[in-house]
Amino acid sequence: MNTRNKILITIASVALVGVGVIGIHERLLTKAYHAVRQTESKLKKEKSELAIMQNALTVYENSKTSNLKGQFPSTHFVKSQKVVLPIQANYKADNAKVAQWVTSYLTELRKDNGITSKVSWQATSPEQDFAHKIATNQKATFNGKYLVAGYSLASSNPIAGSNLSDQETAYQIVMNLYDQSGQEGFIPNTAGNYGARAYLLYSGNHIGVDTTNGAAISFDYQDSKAYQTMLKATTAPKTTPLPNVTFEYVNMANWQKARDKIKSEKAEVSKTQDSLEMSEQQLQQLKKYFL
């Protein structure tokens, strides 16, 4: 075989090897493209499923039966606010907790009306003892020291049995005393109908709260011009409008399951996103080597 023929055979061999290499690279590129498209499709599907779950949870959280934004907030007297609390099976009022919420509401209510005095409650105070005696029909001596206000939780009362938390019970107590227009025996434009409101805003700073039978609140007596003016008012005294707070209750187990499912789906999306990035990197490397 002459030298020329040897060269031709060598060139032909190299060409065949080149074709083989090109074929392998094409197969690798095709496989890489397929991996990227497959991962993109998977990621798109997972993101779509995640969006559906998040939307469903958002609808649930903002429905008429629930609103989990700002979960378990400390309620303040604003024009409108929702308070979301967990459902408590067989709820029964805890008097100490109700009393603490009452003091919180009263202090906020005074603040909204430009009154700086804060309200406090103690389980062993004379005011608490007085309120308990009144609520349980025991002999109690006023001695000019205390005022007392209250309302019944009889079955005829619209809110009877509807409260599902100590916070809502306290809110209803304060609001029913603050706005007595729906109370039995209320007569518009008659002196004396704003006594409870006068107590809430202008009495002393120590109170007693008892929910044994309905609700009874005792106040330190504190005479003042503002108190007397409101007590004797024949028309509604000018005070902060009654706040509108809605209490919503949610099944925390169901809510947590939904949150956990979304968390899991987010992890899958993140994992697939990483996989897609890796596939795209491999594709770019193959393109580079091929060229």
The answer to whether 111 and 197 are in contact (CB under 8 A) is no
Max mean pLDDT range (3-17, 116-130, 182-196, 218-232):
116-130
Average pLDDT value over all residues in the chain: 77
* Residue 156 in this model has a pLDDT that exceeds 50: no
- Is residue 70 scored above 90 in pLDDT? no
Mean pLDDT of 266-287: 84
| DSSP-assigned states of every residue in 58-74 | HHHHTSTT---TTSS--
What's the pLDDT score for residue 89? 76
Sheet-wide strand order for 120-121: 120-121, 206-210, 215-220, 146-151
pLDDT tens column, 203-261 = 999 999 998 877 788 999 888 899 888 888 877 777 887 677 888 888 877 888 888 88
User: Would you state the pLDDT for residue 101?
Assistant: 92
pLDDT of 24 over the 90 cut? no
Whole-number pLDDT of residue 71:
60
Reported as a single tens digit per residue, the pLDDT across 42-60 is 888 888 888 888 887 877 7
